[in-house]
Homo-oligomer: A and B are copies of this chain.
Amino acid sequence: MNDSVFDYSRLYRNGLPDPAPKWAPFPKYYFIGGNNDPEQIPIEGLIDAAASVLRREGSKLAIYNLGLGPQGYPGLRQFVADKSKKHRGINLPIDDVLITTGSGQGLDMISNMLINPGDTILAEEYCYQGALNRFRKLGAKIEGMKLDADGIVIDALSSQLADLKSRGITPKFIYTIPTIQNPTASILPLDRRHALLRLAREYNVCIFEDECYADLIWDGIEAPPALYALDPECVLHIGSFSKCLAPALRLGYLFAPWEQMKRLLPLKGDSGTGALDQMVVAEYFSKTFDTHVNHLNGVLREKLRVMTEAVEREFGASAECWTPKGGIFLWIKLPESVDVRKLIKPAAEAGLVFNEGPAWAVSADNSFNSLRLCFAMPDHQTIRDGVATLAQVCYEQTGIPIRSGNVQRA
């Protein structure tokens, strides 16, 4: 009987995504992905935290959600509330905090709550690919919001909303990363935050605030309060432990008043976020968050310095870097004669991957000559060598940049 051919192709549903490729180990110069510095994982701190929290509460692992409900381990919700009060100006009860399985789950849940196919939503013109992909998958039409060095340009947004309204279009939400914008790493000033919230109320457009990177701000730079701190009634807020601690843990959070929380909870659908991760992180960070993050930010800023110097050395005047106020990535604009999509294949052959601008933008029209380089994972020498490799590939494909340091390229 087993000789007959069993035919799965008759069983697959319509519209299945393309098959996954076999996984391959990372290339040498891996400048993509929200990875962190492996040397900054606080191994002994996590071991101590695991021992202490498991001895105190480990028996609860026998019960779904630790027997404490679907919003997450209360110790972690309390930590998130405390940290958000201290650092982001947010006052909220832990009943308005949901622990999510990564901030990606928060993105999925909020998108799923608000988007009908054909709906219009607004996103920053340069924007996190994972968010854009999710919105598109649900059939949203995305309008880009103009950015400058400080984030959303309010006058442009105001005209855009008026124009949409004149065409009978009410956007569902404005997706924004106001604090360490991805990929430009800017911080939206307070006056723009207030103006943005006024527009949200005027047009009844929800603000979807993504603060994934807001813990990673360089020493001496102040971020204004979160949008959620200023007007929680029209803001839904997500954050993450991936960037301040470890992305392999899959821990994020979502803030919403109960009226929205109760609509979001049925969309979680995973029977709870992994409890050991939640318990260990709560136990560790309740004592060490500021120390850990301050140290991490120093390490990251130094890596950014190494990368920026390498870009200046290798690309000279051909590369225009946005100035990061924190985070783990550098957004670089090359001359308009360079289409970075044509560099993907030769770069891969040289062992280098980067994020091409069009994947990190609402439109390719103003992003084809931009790229994003992540700097948290590679060490200093890999950053230097990788940027040199990228410049060499770019030169071979486009004739740009013509000089490396002060030396003419071969």
Chain B residues with Cβ below 8 Å from A367 are none
| Interface residue? A260 (CB, 8 A) | yes
Across the interface, A8 reaches (CB within 8 A) one of B18, B206, B231, B277, namely: B206
Could you tell me if A270 and B102 are in contact, using CB atoms closer than 8 angstroms?
yes
CA distance A47 to B263 in the complex (A): 37
User: A69-B23, A108-B269, A198-B1 known; A116 and B14 CB under 8 Å?
Assistant: yes
Across the interface, A43 reaches (CB within 8 A) one of B55, B67, B249, namely: B55
For chain A, which range describes its interface: under 10, 10 to 19, 20 to 34, or 35 or more residues?
A: 35 or more
Could you tell me if A46 and B59 are in contact, using CB atoms closer than 8 angstroms?
no
Most chain B Cβ neighbours within 10 Å, of A61, A173, A269: A61
**Nearest Cβ on chain B to A65's Cβ, whole angstroms:** 6
Most chain B Cβ neighbours within 10 Å, of A70, A113, A202: A113
Could you tell me if A233 and B266 are in contact, using CB atoms closer than 8 angstroms?
no
Q: Which of A226-247 contact B (CB under 8 A)?
A: 231, 233-234, 245-247
Closest to A171 in B: B11
Across the interface, A233 reaches (CB within 8 A) one of B6, B108, B247, namely: B6
CA distance A47 to B112 in the complex (A): 38
Could you tell me if B47 and A54 are in contact, using CB atoms closer than 8 angstroms?
yes
Chain B residues with Cβ below 8 Å from A280 are 50, 276
CA distance A65 to B248 in the complex (A): 5
CA distance A58 to B249 in the complex (A): 11
Could you tell me if A13 and B116 are in contact, using CB atoms closer than 8 angstroms?
yes
Chain B residues with Cβ below 8 Å from A119 are 13
Could you tell me if B59 and A41 are in contact, using CB atoms closer than 8 angstroms?
yes
CA distance A55 to B42 in the complex (A): 10
Across the interface, A263 reaches (CB within 8 A) one of B12, B25, B104, namely: B12
Could you tell me if A248 and B62 are in contact, using CB atoms closer than 8 angstroms?
yes
Could you tell me if B64 and A33 are in contact, using CB atoms closer than 8 angstroms?
yes
Q: Which of A41-92 contact B (CB under 8 A)?
A: 41, 43, 46-47, 50-51, 54-55, 58-67, 69-71
Q: Which of A1-17 contact B (CB under 8 A)?
A: 1-2, 4, 6-8, 10-14, 16-17
**Nearest Cβ on chain B to A292's Cβ, whole angstroms:** 13
| Interface residue? A156 (CB, 8 A) | no
| Interface residue? A34 (CB, 8 A) | yes
Could you tell me if B59 and A23 are in contact, using CB atoms closer than 8 angstroms?
no
| Interface residue? A36 (CB, 8 A) | yes
Could you tell me if B249 and A274 are in contact, using CB atoms closer than 8 angstroms?
yes
- Render A196-229 as a binary contact track against B, CB cut-off 8 A, 1 for contact: 0110111010100000000000000000000000
Chain B residues with Cβ below 8 Å from A38 are 59-60, 62-63
Across the interface, A12 reaches (CB within 8 A) one of B2, B7, B113, B250, namely: B113
| A-B residue pairs in contact (CB < 8 Å), sample of 15 | A2-B201, A11-B172, A11-B206, A16-B263, A19-B262, A23-B71, A47-B55, A50-B51, A61-B249, A62-B246, A64-B247, A64-B248, A101-B101, A246-B275, A248-B274
On A, residues with C-beta under 8 Å from B are 1-2, 4, 6-8, 10-14, 16-23, 25-26, 33-41, 43, 46-47, 50-51, 54-55, 58-67, 69-71, 101-102, 104-105, 108, 112-116, 119, 170, 172-173, 197-198, 200-202, 204, 206, 231, 233-234, 245-251, 258-263, 265-267, 269-277, 280, 376-377
* A-B pairs with lowest CB-CB distance, top 5: A23-B69, A274-B274, A248-B275, A20-B265, A61-B246
